[in-house]
Amino acid sequence: MAGPMKARAKMHGDYTDIRVLMSHPMETGLRKSGGKAVPKHFIQNLTVKLNGKTVVEGEISQAVSRNPVFSFRVGGAKKGDKVEISWLDSKGDTNKTETAVA
């Protein structure tokens, strides 16, 4: 299940730092629970948009840690600009969040 997702975008001089936390088990398929392997289940795609325009597209594997945290940087953003982040996992579940540049 898709848990909460948090994002923050903060200006640092000439760039804006975008941080995002995604709640996800990121199961590798190698972990065992009660003697049984837990099936693979992980985020595969993520997209970061600034004012509706895609700025970062990521494809990731099960090697990204549980509850993934990412930082990205964009140039030219202004205070109040809209940042949207979404993900899609290997079971077709999705989640998204948005924040404003501070």
Partner 1 sequence: MDEARRVVLRGAGATGMFAAALAAGLLKPERALAASWNKAAFDAKSTIDALQGIGAANPQKSEDIVIDAPQIAENGAVVPVEITSKIPGTTAIAVLIEKNPQPLAGQFQFMNGALPYVKVNVKMGESSLVRVIATAGGKHYTATKDIKVTAGGCGG
Q: Which residues bind partner 1 (CB under 8 A)?
A: 15, 26, 28, 30-32, 44-48, 50, 53-66, 68-77, 86-88, 92, 94
Give the whole-angstrom CA distance, residue 78 versus residue 20: 18
Least distance to partner 1 from the beta carbon of 66, Å?
Answer: 7
Cβ closer to partner 1: 23 or 45?
Answer: 45
Q: Please, what is the end-to-end C-alpha distance for the chain in angstroms?
A: 30
Give me the sign of the Cα torsion angle 69, 97, 60, 101: negative
Cβ closer to partner 1: 1 or 71?
Answer: 71
Least distance to partner 1 from the beta carbon of 56, Å?
Answer: 5
Distances (CA, A) of 61 to 70, 77, 78, 97: 14, 29, 32, 21
Least distance to partner 1 from the beta carbon of 102, Å?
Answer: 18
Cβ closer to partner 1: 4 or 92?
Answer: 92
